[in-house]
Amino acid sequence: MEPGRKEKVERLLADLSAVEQQLSSPDIFDDQKLYKKLSQDHAYLTDLKRVWEQILFLTKEIASNKKLLTSESGEMGELLQETLTDDIGRLETLETELSTLLVPPDPNDNKTTIIELRAGTGGEEAALFVADCVRMYKLYASQKGWTCETLSCSESDIGGFKEFIMAISGEGVHRMLQYEGGTHRVQRVPATETQGRVHTSAITIATLIEPDADEQVKIEEKDLRIDTFRASGAGGQHVNTTDSAVRITHIPTGIVAECQDERSQHKNKAKALRYLSARIADAKRKAAADAMAEKRSAQVGSGDRSERIRTYNFSQNRITDHRINLTKYNLDQVMEGELEEILAALVTYFYEEKLRA
């Protein structure tokens, strides 16, 4: 265990009883903003307590079993060794979870996050990888109990997506997904390749926070240009016969959002406005962050989508996140939604980078 970690956990958990006392006050509902904050603090500290207690229990169990193992052999020794291996694996998982929890909560942690995935270099293969990553994020979201909603998508000719935009909501969603923005490179033999050669393709991903009630973006109707058009797709049943697709341009900023996912023009307009609002809010945040960055030598965690942040090598079952020099040989599991270890490491790394800055 890292030096000082025990003290840090105990210092944080010392606040739990005070938070519980405040929440039990009959007047707490008079201040909804305070109630919301205290409820989030309570959920965080309760989670921290659960993980910490499990770590303490397993640490004692492992020490005890190691001691017993020196005097046991045969069937009992094998059983102890098996238990010890399982406990060590569980402890490693809990230590990763604790590292993430020790990053202090942020007001944006639970905000709905919009993920934009776009095919880059590689044509149809890149579009197919967009579809693979959409599936990967949806599986991870399902594990976390989050909700996914498609805002817009544009299909490619052979079953991939040229573009896919979705909103994901749930507890801790932005905390875990905020560092996914950037260029994701894939190395594999495409389904269309007859010679068995490995191709390198790329997709870009961007993450946006959807504005909540405290950060409403005021959009004037006079500032919008709304165009309708016929939805396009891969053909057949996917092509609409009416002008239900909607493209909205915010004239002052030039930001464009469109949606053709729904058959109703009204629903497409509502989704496009949601996406437009998130993009305008994101532009404002970035402008403020850029102004602040001028006062220091480097901007930490910019999430610039032009940077290659991760490589997925299918032939070697290898995934590498270049920002934190993390390489794992479980790409098959990651593509099935097992993203927690990578995302937790990113949360910890960027928090420590901000402290150093």
Predicted pLDDT at 303: 33
Strands 308-313 and 182-188: parallel
Predicted pLDDT at 135: 97
Tell me the CA end-to-end span of the chain in Å, nearest whole number.
25
Each residue's pLDDT, cut to its tens digit, for the chain (357 residues) gives: 566 788 889 888 998 989 999 998 888 888 888 888 888 888 889 989 999 999 999 999 999 888 888 777 778 878 888 888 889 988 988 888 888 888 888 888 999 999 999 999 888 899 999 999 999 999 999 999 999 999 888 888 888 999 999 999 999 999 999 999 999 999 999 876 767 788 999 999 999 988 876 666 788 888 889 988 877 654 444 445 567 889 999 998 889 988 887 878 888 888 888 888 888 888 887 777 676 455 333 333 333 344 689 999 999 999 999 999 999 999 999 999 999 999 999 998 998 888 776
Q: What's the rounded Cα separation, in Å, for the pair 203 and 136?
A: 14
Phi and psi torsions of 298, nearest 5°: -145, 145
**Residues 278-287: contacts with CB within 8 Å, 24+ apart?**
278/114, 278/208, 278/209, 278/210, 278/211, 279/208, 279/255, 280/217, 280/219, 280/250, 280/253, 280/255, 281/208, 281/209, 281/210, 281/211, 281/215, 281/217, 282/208, 282/209, 283/253, 283/255, 284/217, 285/209
Predicted pLDDT at 327: 96
Angle (CA) 161-166-169 rounded to 5° is 155
Of 338, 193, 55, which Cα lies nearest the Cα of 330? Answer: 338
Predicted pLDDT at 43: 87
Predicted pLDDT at 314: 95
Predicted pLDDT at 296: 37
Q: Where are the beta strands (DSSP E) in 15-160?
A: 113-119, 147-155
Predicted pLDDT at 295: 37
DSSP, residue by residue, 251-298: TTTTEEEEE-SSS-HHHHHHHHHHHHHHHHHHHHHHHHHHHHHTTSS-
Predicted pLDDT at 241: 54
Of 261, 280, 281, which Cα lies nearest the Cα of 271? Answer: 261
Predicted pLDDT at 237: 45
